[in-house]
Amino acid sequence: MVPTVLVVDDALFMRMMIKDILTKDGFEIVGEAENGIQAVKKFAELQPDLVTMDIVMPEMDGIEAVRNIMKMDPDARILMCSAMGQQPLVVEALEAGAMDFIIKPFHPAKVVEAVRKALRGGG
């Protein structure tokens, strides 16, 4: 079965980039969200195998979205997407339940490697 992914980022071009990287590697993008509120709603609706989650977003940030998703599904696999210099936020996201993180700008091989690792259950 093809692993399913929900892509969450407030920037359309970032969602497009992640979708492009992952679809080329055989993953199925089942949905997108541009803020944490949408992410939580779509996670409940779609039950993806993995979520790529931006940290800084309007309405509800990625950390709060991780907390909400983990309440719904303690086994959720969430990969944070962060810009350089957001280390304190990344630590907070990992403490909230995220499995790992990838740094923008994305290197396709690193994104795929992190996604595969998270799907295997490794943080």
Report pLDDT digits (tens) over 22-60: 999 999 999 999 999 999 999 999 999 999 999 999 999
Mean pLDDT of the chain: 94
Give percent above pLDDT 70 in the chain: 98
* Spans of all domains in the chain: 4-86+104-120
pTM, two decimal places: 0.94
pLDDT at residue number 9: 97
**pLDDT reported for residue 52:** 98
The CATH number that domain 4-86+104-120 falls under is 3.40.50.2300
53 forms beta bridges with: 8, 80
Quick check: bond before 105 cis, omega within 30?
Answer: yes
Exposure on the CB side of residue 5, measured as CA atoms within 13 A: 29
